[in-house]
Amino acid sequence: MRRVSEDLRRALEDPGYTPPRRAFGEMFALLSHPELGERAERALLSAGLPAATYAAETLAQDPAAAEPALVRLVGRAARTHDEPALLEALCKALQSPHAETRRQAAMALGKSGRREAEPALLACLSTTDHKLLRSVVEALGKVGGEDALAQLTALQVPATLRQVADRARLMLERGLGRSQGPAEPIASDRPLPAPLRVSLLCRGGLSELLAEEAASLQPRVESPSEVSLSYAGALGPLLELRLATAVAIAWPLTQGTSPGGVLTALLSAELVAALTAWSNGQLRFRLEWQGAGHRRADTWRIAQGLRDAGSPLLNDPAQAPWTIEVQQDPPRLLLRPSAGADRRFDYRVRDVPAASHPTIAAALARVAGPDAADVVWDPFAGSGVELIERARLGPYRELHGTDLDARALGAARENAEQAGLVGLSLQQADARNHRVPGLSLVLTNPPMGRRVLRARGLSGVLCQVVRNVASQLVPGGRMIWLSPFPDVTARAAADAGLRVERLRSVDLGGFDAELQRFVRAG
């Protein structure tokens, strides 16, 4: 056994140790050390490409000396660096006299994602080493092309590898169609062939407001975060609803949520017709199991069942314009178009920390409603989303935004410009004492104090702002906002002579705030 100096031992004990180039040889020699091998491998990995290139040279010169760890090192680098020498070394290692080294090389070539690895892997398909064959087949599923698909289809594999070969073929089939996919895989202008139940999802607490937004479609409020419609139209108008976070076809799982039940639903002609109507090109989807992890084996069973039945649906997590979520309660599928950019809030070119979710800003604006006489103020304007959403609803007399932070005001200015909003006045000022003559509407999403753990004193600041607003609202004027301290701010508003309406609790992403409307008597 090689003697290891105390200095080197100490260096290797440090998890952050990165060996210099001159130490690479010494580190390589330690890879098979029973006690220090793992540490040496970790240190070499942290040295990155230079160590991997050195390892590739070593492998090229003396394949017989190829340690599995050396191959792993090269493989790791080949995932991110398109260096021919790395790939060559891995291909060469496929011929190593050591079984484990050959297997590591096949796995590394698969993970490299490089099509150039295909010929060397194909050359190994005749191996009698079953472990190697398994890794080679898996790798071909990841990096192969038409040749790999043809050879895997013709290949006679032992029974234990049948499933692995099947998966590899499925992966190749779905990969080969990808490059021919349309630029816009979701069709937003074609109607459904028949009325279906369509769900509109939103932030918890906003479903009634979303139902108001979608009123012309006769919506039904299903829960605080869901509205449903019987709908046969095109997808486009639904994607424009500003309060929705997602649109999905809701498909009942009449035969349960087992893989068999899901497969039966996915094979239904009506479901396929609906997806076809709202798609251009292939029906690629990703399967998600609500609250049940990946369930890879079940997903594969379904993918294989679809293929065996000749279904046009193709399970392809890497490039899926549709996400199909399996829900348990009620048992149903949610078929959600996931491709295509959301254009509704494209004006948001700049953000601030704790910026409002734009659907929530849109909801606040909807509660305010368009009144052409309104003088509007957002005292905590941030990036300006509430003011922009209010402006989109209709005319107003004036729009004012203030913030203590000059960068936030810069963001608001840019966003407003993008939104084509003119006449917005932005000023650096304190919400507690700023005044806006003729103020008739305050619309705001204030600081919630999450960052500083319910920042002590924040509730006091928010009450001061309520009093400041109350002191200047014109008769009939309103303040509409989300309060993280609902009881305290409602009391402050009532004490300041405002009529208090506590509308509903809204999920701000893991914590709730109350949507409140305070009105000065007319």
Ligand X SMILES: C[S@@+](CC[C@H](N)C(=O)[O-])C[C@H]1O[C@@H](n2cnc3c(N)ncnc32)[C@H](O)[C@@H]1O
Q: CB-wise, 98 or 450, nearer to ligand X?
A: 450
Determine, following the binding rule CB under 6 A, whether residue 363 of this chain makes contact with ligand X.
no
- Which CB sits closer to ligand X, 231 or 380? 380
Please identify, among the stretches 205-213, 217-225, 267-275, 396-404, the one whose residues bind ligand X according to the rule CB under 6 A: 396-404
Nearest residue (CB) to ligand X, 274 versus 470 = 470
Kindly indicate which of the ranges 62-70, 119-127, 216-224, 404-412 contains the residues binding ligand X, using the contact rule CB under 6 A.
404-412
355 binds ligand X (CB under 6 A): yes
Q: By CB under 6 A, is residue 408 in contact with ligand X?
A: yes
* Contact between 404 and ligand X per CB under 6 A: yes
Which token pair is 374?
Answer: 């309104």
Q: Which is nearer to ligand X, 100 or 430 (CB)?
A: 430
Residue 447 touching ligand X (CB under 6 A):
yes
Each residue 416-435 as x (binds ligand X by CB under 6 A) or -, in order, gives --------------xxx---
Candidates 32-40, 123-131, 301-309, 381-389; binding stretch for ligand X (CB under 6 A)? 381-389
Longest dimension (CA), the chain: 92
Task: Indicate whether 484 belongs to the interface with ligand X (CB under 6 A).
Answer: no
Round to whole Å and give the CA distance between 191 and 64: 64
Nearer to ligand X, 461 or 503 (CB): 461
Check binding of 386 to ligand X (CB under 6 A). Answer: yes
Binding mask 101-130 for ligand X (x = CB under 6 A): ------------------------------
Are 161 and 137 spatial neighbours (Cβ–Cβ below 8 Å)?
Answer: yes
- Residue closest to ligand X (Cβ): 382
- For the beta sheet containing 375-378, the strands, ordered from the edge strand earlier in sequence to the opposite edge, are 424-428, 398-403, 375-378, 441-444, 478-483, 512-520, 498-507
**Cα–Cα distance for residue pair 396/419, rounded to 1 Å:** 16
Q: Taking CB under 6 A as the rule, does residue 485 contact ligand X?
A: no
- Residue 440 as a binder of ligand X (CB under 6 A): the answer is no
In whole angstroms, give the CA distance from residue 447 to residue 404: 12
335-348 burial by CB neighbour count: b if 16+ within 10 A, else e?
bbbeeeeeebbebb
Residue among 170 and 362 whose Cβ is closer to ligand X: 362
Burial 464-480 (b: 16+ CB within 10 A, else e): ebbbbbbebbeeebbbb
Segment lying near ligand X (by CB under 6 A), choices 40-48, 133-141, 190-198, 378-386: 378-386
Of the residues 58, 207, 359, 445, which one makes contact with ligand X according to CB under 6 A: 445
Q: If DSSP codes are grouped into helix, strand and coil, which group holds residue 513?
A: strand
Q: Of 41-49, 262-270, 329-337, 352-360, which segment contacts ligand X by CB under 6 A? A: 352-360
Residues 518 and 441: their CA atoms lie apart, in Å, by: 10
> In Å, how far are 25, 26, 28, 59, 253 from 21, measured between CA atoms?
8, 10, 11, 17, 60
- Min dist. Cβ of residue 472 to ligand X (A): 15
The token duo for 145 is 């092309």
At residue 130, φ and ψ (nearest 5 deg) are: -65, -35
The interaxial angle of helices 49-61 and 37-46, nearest 10 deg, is 120
Closer CB to ligand X, residue 68 or residue 447? 447
Q: How many residues bind ligand X (CB under 6 A)?
A: 21
CB of 330 to ligand X, least distance (A): 35
- CB within 8 Å of 329: residues ≥ 6 apart: none
CA angle 108, 112, 118 (to 5 degrees): 85
Phi first, then psi, for residue 169 (nearest 5°) are -65, -40
Binding site for ligand X (CB under 6 A): 352, 354-356, 379-380, 382-383, 385-386, 402-405, 408, 430-432, 445, 447, 461
